[in-house]
A = this chain, B = another copy of it.
């Protein structure tokens, strides 16, 4: 099965490209898309960002909102679907700031799910490490965990695409 990772910066067109991939696979395989929204609407700015993305998606897609328990959410999805997870960065953020979650365990279960699932999966993530080292220790920890997560997912992905200025640029192809 194809596993796609789309990685880019803020407003680099990564969600739009991931949605096109999902749409193409759904059409060619005669399947529906299950859109797994990892965003949690903590504040008004985040709500606005979620609405912005929602407006751009086809109305017949199934949307599932998920908190930190992404693996649990994914394991309940019908096997006849293309899964789009948008995005791993918000999921990581949700996990690191929920005390009850063991991130290392959750992450290893996610990577195990990804390795063994029979779904076509398209995942969106952010690259956050091309800057001066942040002063804030939590921000440094976040950048470390994001980088390790991206490496783990990219190693299992059949295709990795880097987006910049809305242009998809293939960096790993199966």
Contacts and interface: CB of A to CB of B under 8 A. Distances in A.
Number of copies: 3
Interface string A9-36: 1111100000000000000000000000
Given A45-B137, A128-B132, A130-B131, A11 B147 contact: yes
A108 interface: no
7 tightest A-B CB contacts, nearest first:
A11-B147, A9-B129, A10-B129, A131-B131, A151-B166, A130-B130, A154-B165
Given A131-B134, A150-B166, A162-B164, 19 more contacts: A7-B164, A7-B165, A9-B127, A9-B130, A9-B131, A10-B129, A10-B133, A10-B144, A11-B143, A127-B164, A127-B165, A128-B130, A128-B131, A128-B132, A130-B131, A131-B132, A154-B167, A160-B167, A169-B171
A142 interface: yes
Given A10-B147, A165-B150, A171-B169, A129 B130 contact: yes
Chain A interface category by residue count: 35 or more
A90 to B, nearest CB: 10
B165 A5 contact: yes
A155 interface: yes
